[in-house]
Amino acid sequence: MSGPRFVIVCGSGGVGKTTTSAAIGLRAARGGERVLVVTVDPARRLAQVLGIDGGDTGTVAVEGGGSLTVTMLDTKAGWDSLIRRHARDAATAERVLRNPLYHNITARFVNSHDYIAMEKVNELASSGLYDLVVVDTPPSRNGLDLLAAPQRMREFFGGRLLRWLTFPYRNRVAALAAKPFLMVADRLLGAQFLGDIAEFFVLLQSMEPGFVRRAEEVESLLGSERVTCVVVASAERGSVEEAVFLIDRLRSRGMHVSMAVMNRTVGAADVPAAGETLPSPDEVRLRLPGIDASAALAEVALIGARLGDTAARHSIGVDAVRAVVDDVRVVPLVRTRGAGDPLEAIAGQVGPR
């Protein structure tokens, strides 16, 4: 097999997706693989997790013979290179790049960031530099904008909307047919602004074949055996419901969900042993005369009981995910103070089985 395997890490916000991406990468690199972790998140979060300073790309040395490289996506540079690649000539490319609305439109256009991320994945697919590519995705509560981006791009170019928008510039008769739209759009936005947008899309439309072909390539890669998804969740009910929903959506897109990571799970090891009895208040008073024995014992019992309740809830949550994914990795809650622990806690669980 040529080219790397891909792991796409998905989940809702706040569940530890970025840390999990880094941990999966770290674990594979320790196993001797050459690993790239791509973060789609504009913030420099991954680099922070791995302790890489500054810059958009950094490599950390890893024991075990592998390597771990982290890179941030540059949406603007990605779009610039796409435009240059697909434009029929250099002059067209320059006109697009100089259009005053270009940056604003590409920054928002059909989940622009997602599309560039998928382009990056496509580009890496034929590269021999890495054995494994881990993609950290933006929070996704309501489906998978990232994976849908190539399809939306293809539909946009193939669909009626682009033709509607560029009608008046191609055909005066057609302009009459588009009149209700133009009347509304004109009153909303003003003719000049609309003209700028339309010019931009006329130029973009000339690049249609290239964009459509690329989008199809990405879609076919995503549906292949080389790409798997890892879903990250916490074991609380709301997060589990969203994870189950997400797994369902992923599978309905034809994606292979290889693993679920249940982060910060309270388990039996965190809960006081069932048979362990606390000393009596009298015994405590004898040994520790300085404290309010009854109150302190009640507090200790309360902390234990609370952990027990949480562990019971989490056990239900983990079972609910096990019902839909075979390979569920449970990451325990950290038990110590200090930074760096969450990464190692997850890395400890995500290795090969």
Partner 1 sequence: MDGSDAVARAFGSGPVGYDPAEVSPGLWAMTMRTDRSLQEYVRIHLRIPLLPDLGALASTFDFVADAAPGVKEVLGVGKVCWEVRERHYDLVIVDAEASGHIVAQIASPRTINSLVPRGPLRDQTAWMLAILDDPEQCGVVVVTTAEELPVTETVELVARLRDGTRTDVARIVVNGMEPAVPDGALALAGDPWFAAAAPSHAASVLATAGRRAGQADVTAALHGLGVPVTELPAASGDEAAVTELLAGSFT
- Which residues between 97 and 116 bind partner 1 (CB under 8 A)? 101, 104-105, 107-110
Decide whether 42 or 254 has the Cβ nearer to partner 1: 42
Q: Residue 71 corresponds to which tokens in the numbers above?
A: 């890179």
DSSP state of 42: S
| Footprint of partner 1 on 218-237 (CB under 8 A) | 236
CA 306 to chain centre: 32
Smallest separation, CB 94 to partner 1 (Å): 21
Residue 2 touching partner 1 (CB under 8 A): no
Burial of 102 (0-12, 13-18, 19+ CB in 10 A): buried
The number of C-alpha atoms within 13 Å of 227 and in the hemisphere containing its C-beta is 22
Q: Residue 101 corresponds to which tokens in the numbers above?
A: 């609305």
Residue 52 touching partner 1 (CB under 8 A): no
Residue 304 touching partner 1 (CB under 8 A): yes
**In sequence order, what E strands does 92-217 have?**
132-136
Residue 185 touching partner 1 (CB under 8 A): yes
Decide whether 67 or 166 has the Cβ nearer to partner 1: 166
Alpha-carbon gap, residue 8 to 24, rounded angstroms: 11
| Footprint of partner 1 on 321-350 (CB under 8 A) | 333-339, 342
CB-based contact 198:191 (threshold 8 Å):
no
Smallest separation, CB 181 to partner 1 (Å): 5
Residue 252 touching partner 1 (CB under 8 A): no
Residue 295 touching partner 1 (CB under 8 A): yes
Residue 175 touching partner 1 (CB under 8 A): no
Alpha-carbon gap, residue 74 to 71, rounded angstroms: 9
x/- letters, 117..156, toward partner 1 (CB under 8 A): ---------------------xx-xx--------------
Q: Residue 117 corresponds to which tokens in the numbers above?
A: 């991320």
Alpha-carbon gap, residue 69 to 39, rounded angstroms: 11
| Interface stretch with partner 1, choices 25-33, 64-72, 206-214, 294-302 (CB under 8 A) | 294-302
